[in-house]
Structure 1
Amino acid sequence: MRADYRSLPGFEGVQLEGSYVLGIEARPGKLMFRLDLLLDPGHPDYGPPLGGDRACFRPAVLCFDAVHGLT
């Protein structure tokens, strides 16, 4: 059985499905996604939507370290 991402530390109160990928960067050993991350009301950084957004989006970086290969 695979764990849902929301059960992983650091993913509480976020919705990846509703978030936007703004950029992807791959370096040796590292993969990074720049995001407009959709936050749920229970998230500590949640606040009123900014600049006419429909929900609470905040900038974030999702980083995978120790990447051995990409295809």
Structure 2
Amino acid sequence: MKNYFEIEGLKNIYLEDSYVIDIKETESGIIFDMEFVLKPAHSCYSEPLSNEQYCYKDGTIEFIGCSSINWISRSKQVFTDRNKNVDHGNIDSFFRKGAVNHLEGDWGIVEFTNSERDLVITLIGNL
């Protein structure tokens, strides 16, 4: 079993406090639109804004070439912060067991198969 922080590209991202903004499912993949929390060792890290606890950067986690996408549970629950921004909670658990990914959060639980090299992390804006 491999935890997400052992996967290249996610080593310096703290998913448990990052926000899931949207989840899109394609014919052969899943895309999580995120507001990432970057750890100080991340190459795009900057000091947090005065009113924030962490360094936040928008981005995506894209799982491509997926097969066997299995939603164990799914929730439409949303959260609204004091600035009226809406999110679906966090990714509370993400690990790989062989080629199977297991992700879990307030938004649901999903398992799917793909290659670790078919994981794309993208940071957008505010870099």
Q: TM-score range by the shorter chain?
A: 0.7 to 0.9
TM-score normalised to the size of structure 1?
A: 0.86
Match in the other structure for 1:37: 36
- Paired with 2:50 and 2:59, the residues of 1 have a C-alpha distance of 17
- Paired with 1:63 and 1:24, the residues of 2 have a C-alpha distance of 10
Match in the other structure for 1:25: 24
Match in the other structure for 1:48: 47
Match in the other structure for 2:57: 58
- Paired with 2:4 and 2:35, the residues of 1 have a C-alpha distance of 17
Quote the RMSD (CA, aligned, Å). 1.5
Match in the other structure for 2:122: none
Structure 2: 5+ residue stretches without partners:
72-127
The one-letter amino acid paired with 2:70 is: L
The one-letter amino acid paired with 1:4 is: N
- Paired with 1:15 and 1:47, the residues of 2 have a C-alpha distance of 14
User: CA-to-partner distance for each residue in 1:28-67, whole Å, 9 max, x for gaps?
Assistant: 0010000000011111000022473221010110011112
Identical-residue share of aligned pairs (%): 24
Q: Could you tell me how far 1:12 is from its partner in structure 2?
A: 1.8
The one-letter amino acid paired with 1:27 is: T
- Paired with 2:5 and 2:38, the residues of 1 have a C-alpha distance of 12
